[in-house]
């Protein structure tokens, strides 16, 4: 199965810029379906970006984040060719991760 995370990371002048799109329903638990039944909460709780064994970004999300969230961040200390690992865990225990090479 393909990863739910699409990533692009580019280093320029010592600063790495990362953009990620995460496919996830991010259901709040407050919305009803067409039959009037409440759609259970299903959202990402923690998203982590790791470079060389060190977390460079950690987000603690909740039900207020929109469906298919987009994330952009910048950090220093990486070089072109280095690997980044982006991972998430949701409130149902599901998870995904992917690795990207900095260009």
DSSP for 64-80, written as a single string? TSPSS-EEEEEEES--T
If phi > 0 it is left, if psi is from -120 to 50 it is alpha, else beta; for residue 36 that is left
The number of domains in the chain is 1
Residue with tokens 């060389």: 52
Indicate the pTM of the whole model: 0.92
pLDDT digits 0-9 by tens, 51-98: 999 999 999 999 999 999 999 999 999 999 999 999 999 999 999 999
Quote the pLDDT of residue 1.
66
pLDDT digits 0-9 by tens, 31-63: 999 999 999 999 999 999 999 999 999 999 999
> 80 lies in which domain range?
5-102
């Amino acid at each position: 199965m393909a990863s739910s995370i699409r990533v692009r990371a580019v280093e320029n002048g010592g600063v790495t810029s990362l953009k990620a799109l995460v496919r996830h329903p991010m259901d709040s638990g407050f919305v009803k379906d067409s039959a009037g039944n409440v759609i259970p909460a299903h959202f990402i709780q923690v998203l982590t970006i790791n470079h060389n064994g060190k977390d460079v970004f950690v987000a603690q999300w909740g039900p207020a984040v929109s469906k298919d969230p987009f994330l952009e961040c910048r950090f220093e200390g990486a070089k072109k060719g280095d690997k980044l690992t982006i991972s998430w865990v949701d409130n149902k225990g599901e998870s995904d991760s992917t690795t990207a090479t900095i260009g």
